[in-house]
Structure 1
Amino acid sequence: MTSLYEHAGGDEALHRLEEAFYTKALADPVLRPLFPERVPTHVPNLTLFTAESFGGPDRFTRELGFDYMIRVHRGLRITDEQRQRFADLYLEALDEAGLPKDEPFRRAFREHVDFGTRVAQQNSHAETDADLHPLREVPHWTWDGDPD
């Protein structure tokens, strides 16, 4: 079966998605505290993460490691409103980036974003390592909507 990564269109399509999302996040007043300025590595790093999550190359793990993802979220104190806005803007960016519109892909993508934003939100409030979400590696998302 084709991976979500291949179905999405690989690195090029995912880079378009991350750029469309990041542009929206930078302009959004609810997300501005989380994205106060453009960081040159944000889109490339998020592209690597999404690619690996969707069954593409494991470059995020090899080049950055999951601890990087934990570090960038710690202390952000993401609110419920910010978590939801992040997810909403991400889903809007799918169409802008020209990603597939079929329901199985969109469902898996929505579930991936919902899961990821909940992990990031929990980690953003963690006072100690024990408060962190137990996830310690890039989740490999499947068509069934569950990380394996």
Structure 2
Amino acid sequence: MVTVFEAAGGDAGMLRLAHAWHERVMADEVVSHAFSHGFRDDHSVRLAAYWGEALGGPATYTDAYGDESTVVRMHSGNGPHEEMDRRAVACFDQALTDIGLADDDRLYAVLHDYFSWATTVAMTKYHASAADVPTDLSIPRWSWDGLVAD
């Protein structure tokens, strides 16, 4: 069986998805606020590497950019933001449609479930302070059956 990463088009598919999501997010009046302080020029490339690693692809993000602790810290210390999270997930779902990944019901469902979980669970655990994030987190893996236990 192929990984979710492979089914979504591998590195190229993840990059298309990251670009489409970022475009949707920047057009959303609520979610774009998260980027109001600016963002790296290679944001989509880094995001694609992160998603790829989480979805069964190579450890490109960990090897080149950082670890889960670094990612979670970037998303921490901003307080709860349920509406922003809900809209970020909606942007992701629309990005899946934009690049043709919504045509496969099973793939669409697993990608939606992954992003929804990552947005509303993994990235919100430390909303009070980035200083609370442990230093030894590794990128959670997601398969066709959901979160992969360690």
TM-score range, shorter chain: 0.7 to 0.9
1:106 corresponds to which of 85, 96, 108 = 108
- Work out the percentage of aligned pairs sharing the same amino acid: 26
Residue in 2 that maps onto 1:125: 128
Q: TM-score normalized by structure 2?
A: 0.86
- Which consecutive residues of structure 1, in runs of 5 or more, have no partner in the other structure? none
Q: Which moved more, 1:36-45 or 1:4-13?
A: 36-45
Q: CA deviation at 1:100?
A: 5.4
Q: Distance in 2 between matches of 1:29 and 1:125?
A: 24
State whether residues 17 and 93 of structure 1, in contact with CA within 8 Å, keep that contact through their aligned partners in structure 2.
yes
Please show how residues 86-101 of structure 1 align to structure 2 within 5 Å.
86-99=88-101, 101=103
Paired AA for residue 71 in structure 2: M
Matched, 1:74 2:62: no
Letter of the 2:56 partner, please give it: G
Q: Is the 8 A contact 1:34 1:76 kept in 2?
A: no
Question: 1:67, 1:49 → 2: CA distance?
Answer: 12
Deviations 1:30-83 (A, max 9, x none): 112202245312111110011001110011112212222022112233511001
Query: What is the root-mean-square deviation in Å for CA atoms of aligned residues?
Result: 2.1
Aligned-residue offset at 1:145: 1.8
The TM-score normalised by the length of structure 1 is 0.87
Give the structure 1 partner of residue 34 of structure 2: 34
